[in-house]
Structure 1
Amino acid sequence: MTSKILVVGATRGLGACLRDLYSKDSTKRVFATSRTESVPKSDSAISWLRNIDLTHPEVGQNLIAQIPASTGFSTVIISAGYFGFESFDDPDWEKEVKMYTTSAIAPVFLVHHIVKAGLLSEGSKVIIVSSESGSITLRHEKEGGGNYGHHASKAASNMVGKLLSLDLKPKGIAVGLVHPGFMRTEMTEGVGFDKYWDAGGAVTPDEAARSLVSFIEEFDISKTGEYWAPRGPGDIGTAESVLGKDLPTPLQLPW
């Protein structure tokens, strides 16, 4: 039996790797979203959903309008993200609004419309790609402040995921929050974090995708509403100083 996977934010980085990885599995059918009308060259078996912009109020309706009513997803992965660099000396209102909208507002409306359209059912999974940067507990003076929108929008994303898990648990739909890993992507390079790639144990998006897919296979309703790092503590700079040594993989993260 073929299971259907929806990857929201599938044109680059982690989302593109998840799209390609799932599409190589003959037991999976992949639906993938693009923020614009254009889509990258990819496996012809992938069903593209176009103009799915997470900063647009009608994003949920736009998504549902392109999906056949008989479709039922086994897994929905919301991978789309935006990171706008800022500091205390140079905060940026527009960047912060875009980060909060993408990470913490859009997921509510996407999941709402997907569920109301009957595209998720008992046993389905919703995975929201968050970040360890959203953990208040893991924030430590050695990393300093700054990047308010990035950190706080991910903390808000975690709360959104937790609340969705409470609303969807009676339906048997599991919701997970994940830190997929510190990745060598255009996004982290674009904010100057490439200088930390080597020291920080950054991995390629395809490595992170493989770890995440394995984690999702094992994830179920018993872990709904929880916050995890499938790759463990290796790329989380404050993990040992805050949580101690000999930490497991996967690692459940503190809020």
Structure 2
Amino acid sequence: MTPTLLITGANRGIGLALTERYLEHGWRVIACCRFPGSAPHLMTLKNHYASLTTQALDVTDHAAVQQLASNLSDTPIHLLINNAGQYGPKGYQLGETDTEAWREVLAVNTIAPLVMAESFIPHLTLANNSGHTPIFAFISSKVGSMSDNQSGGGYIYRSSKAALNAVVKSLSIDLRPKGIRTVALHPGWVQTQMGGPNALITADISAQGLKQVLDTLTDSQSGHFFDYQGNTIAW
């Protein structure tokens, strides 16, 4: 059976690089983003790979997530990468936190990934029944590590990723009986719209490393937090 990846936020950056990487390795990819038709690089890939399908999806639209899950009800999914993310406002100081923006970031970075997982558990279970150990992978960030926080600030993004890590840990326990692995991943400081041009690595380097981590993930590593080089990150 050809393995299937479903990935969110596939229109650019890390999501696009991961999409291309898995297509190159013979996977079927279901690439989701809000406006696929406005993503020229994704459309180029679609024209080149018959194994790529695109889906318009806003991950904060829970009814749309559930509808997509229903439409794919007979499709085994071997890997689901929750990549869609939002940073929120930059440059604000303590005392200037935009609480409405905070709610929006939490909706994308924390709540939506759990809704995705809840909606697609049956699809990963189908993959497990076919003899392939399925994985829920969540693109987190090292800034969500509380023990690594030496600079303060960043309340909105930091808290959303710390909360996501808590979701991943609980999922790893609850999904263990179903044979589904879960993992939180730090992609590195990547040259994307979010990471900026001064970031240390390209999206392609990050995607290559993340795929290697996922290819070699074991049951004992489920529920842990790794960077794109496979190093463990403390919570």
Q: How many Å apart are 1:208 and its aligned residue?
A: 0.2
* Residue 234 (structure 2) aligns with: 254
* Residue 19 (structure 2) aligns with: 19
Structure 1: state its 5+ residue gaps: 232-249
Q: How many Å apart are 1:59 and its aligned residue?
A: 4.2
Measure the CA separation in 1 of the matches of 2:60 and 2:11. 16
- SS at 1:162's partner residue? helix
Instruction: Report the RMSD for the aligned CA atoms in angstroms.
Output: 1.7
Measure the CA separation in 2 of the matches of 1:152 and 1:120. 33
Measure the CA separation in 2 of the matches of 1:24 and 1:37. 20
The structure with more helix, counted as a fraction of residues:
2
Matched, 1:132 2:136: no
Matched, 1:208 2:213: no
Q: How many Å apart are 1:93 and its aligned residue?
A: 1.8
Q: How many Å apart are 1:108 and its aligned residue?
A: 1.1
Alignment of 1:1-255 (within 5 A): 1-26=1-26, 28-36=27-35, 38=37, 39=39, 40-41=42-43, 42-43=45-46, 44-45=49-50, 46-50=52-56, 52-67=57-72, 69-84=73-88, 85=90, 86-116=92-122, 118-121=125-128, 123-140=133-150, 143=151, 145-189=152-196, 194=197, 197=199, 202-231=200-229, 250-255=230-235
* Residue 234 (structure 1) aligns with: none
Moved over 3 A (4+): 116-120
Contact 2:58 2:64 in 1 (8 A): yes
Q: How many Å apart are 1:119 and its aligned residue?
A: 4.8
Contact 1:135 1:253 in 2 (8 A): yes
User: Which residue identity does 2:75 align to in structure 1?
Assistant: T
List per-residue Cα deviations over 1:144-178 (Å, max 9, x = no partner): x2221100000000000111111100001000001
Measure the CA separation in 2 of the matches of 1:12 and 1:94. 26
Contact 1:74 1:124 in 2 (8 A): yes
Q: In the comparison of the two structures, how many residue pairs are matched?
A: 222
Contact 2:36 2:54 in 1 (8 A): no
List per-residue Cα deviations over 1:186-220 (Å, max 9, x = no partner): 1123xxxx45x3xxxx1011110000001100012
Q: How many Å apart are 1:116 and its aligned residue?
A: 3.7
- SS at 2:128's partner residue? coil
Q: Structure 1 vs Structure 2: percent identity of aligned residues?
A: 29
TM-score by length of 1: 0.81
Structure 2: state its 5+ residue gaps: none
Q: Residues 120 and 155 of structure 1: is their aligned pair in 2 closer, same or farther, counting only changes over 3 Å? A: farther
